[in-house]
């Protein structure tokens, strides 16, 4: 064997060794999506089940794990799942939004390949298409720290998931017809916890021990307040950020948001209410679960403890009290505060303003005067195959125009890889807004009432704000975020009020790199579904 051949063989052996020994673990899931009877509020409904479950199965992973999730669609209409808060590093191909993926047709399947790259924390998945979110199909995602990476609290005795939110007794396709006919949704019929109504779910604890409660607002219409009768909530994590461990008696969680608390079972052994109630609604909805001490001989009793209802000020103060724990490690062994987000000057400012126009006599919702219309071909596929006429990058302004006119458009905003931008969400309506950005965590640097101006930056928190993927904007107020656009792809920015999202309050941010390198973005998956004008094309041979 020649020296060159010997070197080549050694190189190949090293590559194979590193690939086999050094690769992160794989976890495999097979999900069957079906309709089934559910009774969240005591009324028989058609719900969306995953493997016969509502809510769907938990996903448990460790930082950097690879997840292989085969989804089989047994519904009678197309289906997609999106992964709320999972960053899909270099891989918007797997995002599960209609702008990035073709739907899974009835009777077909698609296998998602996800990596929990450099993430920890509490998130959830949900169906993103055809108002399916109102029928269930959602579940929790728990990303655990690697064993060698310390967390800033003792290991809890147990880890509970709380998937809470509003619910309608009408089936999702009835609600969809409301919206398609140009009307808004009626007020929700109730709230549920883990798919069940009043006192329908129990969390069992042992006296004196401490437990982690991971709470996500998976509703479609209302903010919620979470509390446990007689117990304190110690906040420890918000969508992947370890926080300063402030203690609260109750906590507001807005649409699409997730957070974690430590709760110590330090009260007289009996049963206590776990309470979720609606926030900022004139009619207050409330539901409960049970915190059951293992040695309890007394059930829940007495009135359900109250909480703020329509008051804005306590919620704003609470939101400002959430701070990042700068001494704790994140998914890597370096302190979270080592990234000095406040010392970087943004290259530009984008202002995003929501509105509720009527277009052609029907209720719509808009961003900067543009009401989003889904294209016949996913934007990501149109961009990859260079299919003309699907979208253009000038279809939505980066600043709200003057006047109240609005129009339909498949709105895509241009952005460059490695830009550092400031985004201001301006809300002139009388309702709380909730905004989500796929593919990223962003720094919530400020929120205040009134009109944002450059002078508003004087009040920014440029030291220890949390990074998260969903933020609220209070009525007639603004919220500002900083975000490093370090993730190439086509990413959805949307309202997490699902009627608003469905009727146009969303757009896509195209983060572009001219390098066309696998270092910046992974190649199109071999199994990518092709539809619309991309049908009949080819992905890649390997």
For residue range 395-430, list pLDDT tens digits in order: 999 999 988 889 999 999 999 999 999 999 999 999
Exposure class string for 432-448: b at 16+ Cβ within 10 A, else e: bbbbbbbbbbbbbbbbb
Structure tokens at 447: 């929120």
Domains of the chain with CATH codes:
26-144 (2.60.40.420), 158-311 (2.60.40.420), 348-534 (2.60.40.420)
What residues contact residue 389 under an 8 Å CB cut-off, 6+ apart?
Answer: none
CB 233 within 8 A of CB 227: yes
Q: Output the pTM of the full model.
A: 0.94
Q: In Å, what is the CA distance from 152 to each residue of 62, 117, 329? A: 17, 21, 8
- Segment 327-351, tens digit of pLDDT: 998 888 766 555 689 999 999 999 9
pLDDT at 403: 83
Radius of gyration of the chain (CA): 23
Q: How far apart are CA 111 and CA 129, in angstroms?
A: 17
pLDDT at 338: 55
| Cβ count within 10 A of residue 148 | 7
Structure tokens at 155: 């290991």
Q: In Å, what is the CA distance from 133 to each residue of 80, 82, 252, 447? A: 10, 11, 21, 29
Half-sphere exposure in the Cβ direction for 79 (13 Å, CA):
30
- Segment 484-516, tens digit of pLDDT: 999 999 999 999 999 999 999 999 999 999 998
Angle (CA) 25-241-494 rounded to 5° is 90
Q: Residue 464 gets which letter from DSSP?
A: S
What residues contact residue 439 under an 8 Å CB cut-off, 6+ apart?
Answer: 87, 88, 92, 95, 487, 489, 491, 511
| Cβ count within 10 A of residue 317 | 9
| Cβ count within 10 A of residue 304 | 15
> pLDDT tier at 12 (50, 70, 90 boundaries)?
very low
| Cβ count within 10 A of residue 534 | 21
CB 95 within 8 A of CB 148: no
176 φ/ψ angles, rounded to the nearest 5 degrees: -65, -40
CB 240 within 8 A of CB 258: no
pLDDT at 23: 81
Alpha-carbon dihedral angle through residues 433, 437, 442, 444, given to the nearest 10 degrees: 0
Per-chain mean pLDDT for the chain:
94
């Amino acid at each position: 064997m020649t020296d060159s051949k010997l070197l080549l063989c050694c190189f190949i052996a090293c590559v194979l060794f590193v690939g086999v020994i050094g690769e992160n673990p794989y976890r495999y899931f097979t999900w069957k999506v079906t309709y089934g009877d559910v009774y969240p509020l005591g009324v028989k409904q058609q719900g969306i089940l995953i493997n016969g479950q509502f809510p769907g199965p938990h996903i448990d992973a460790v930082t950097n794990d690879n997840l292989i999730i085969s989804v089989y669609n047994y519904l009678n209409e197309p289906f997609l799942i999106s992964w709320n808060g999972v960053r899909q590093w270099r891989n918007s191909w797997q995002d599960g939004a209609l702008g990035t993926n073709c739907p899974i047709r009835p009777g077909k399947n698609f296998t998602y390949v996800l990596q929990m790259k450099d993430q920890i924390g509490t998130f959830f998945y949900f169906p993103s298409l055809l108002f399916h979110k109102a029928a269930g199909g959602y579940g929790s995602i728990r990303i655990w720290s690697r064993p060698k990476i310390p967390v800033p609290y003792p290991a809890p005795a147990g880890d509970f998931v709380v998937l809470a939110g509003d619910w309608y007794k009408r089936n999702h396709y009835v609600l969809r017809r409301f919206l398609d006919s140009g009307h808004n949704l009626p007020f929700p019929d109730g709230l549920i916890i883990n798919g069940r109504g009043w006192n329908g779910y129990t969390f069992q604890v042992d006296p004196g021990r401490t437990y982690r409660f991971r709470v996500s607002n998976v509703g479609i219409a209302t903010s919620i307040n979470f509390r446990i009768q007689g117990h304190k909530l110690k906040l420890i994590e918000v969508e992947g950020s370890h926080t300063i461990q402030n203690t609260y008696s109750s906590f507001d969680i807005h649409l699409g948001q997730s957070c974690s608390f430590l709760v110590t079972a330090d009260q007289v052994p009996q049963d206590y209410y776990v309470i979720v109630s609606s926030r900022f609604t004139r009619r207050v909805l409330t539901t409960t679960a049970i915190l059951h001490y293992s040695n309890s001989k007394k059930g829940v009793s007495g009135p359900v403890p109250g909480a703020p209802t329509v008051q804005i000020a306590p919620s704003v103060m609470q939101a400002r009290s959430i701070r990042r724990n700068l001494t704790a490690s994140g998914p890597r062994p370096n302190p979270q505060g080592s990234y000095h987000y406040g010392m970087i000057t943004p290259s530009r400012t984008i202002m995003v303003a929501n509105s509720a126009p009527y277009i052609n006599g029907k209720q719509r919702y808009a961003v900067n005067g543009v009401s989003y219309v889904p294209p016949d071909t996913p934007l990501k596929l149109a961009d990859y195959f260079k299919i003309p006429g699907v979208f253009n990058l000038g279809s939505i302004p980066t600043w709200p125009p003057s006047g109240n006119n609005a129009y339909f458009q498949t709105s895509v905003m241009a952005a460059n890889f490695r830009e550092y931008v400031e985004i201001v969400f301006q809300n002139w309506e009388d309702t709380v807004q909730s905004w989500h950005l796929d593919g990223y965590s962003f720094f919530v640097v400020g929120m205040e009432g009134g009109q944002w101006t450059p002078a508003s930056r004087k009040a920014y928190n440029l030291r220890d704000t949390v990074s998260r993927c969903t933020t609220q904007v209070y009525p007639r107020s603004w919220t500002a975020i900083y975000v490093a656009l370090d993730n190439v792809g086509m990413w959805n920015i949307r309202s997490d009020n699902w009627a608003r999202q469905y009727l146009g309050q969303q757009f896509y941010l195209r983060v572009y790199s001219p390098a066309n390198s696998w270092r910046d973005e992974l190649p199109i998956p071999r199994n990518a579904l092709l539809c619309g004008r991309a049908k009949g094309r080819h992905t890649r041979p390997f």
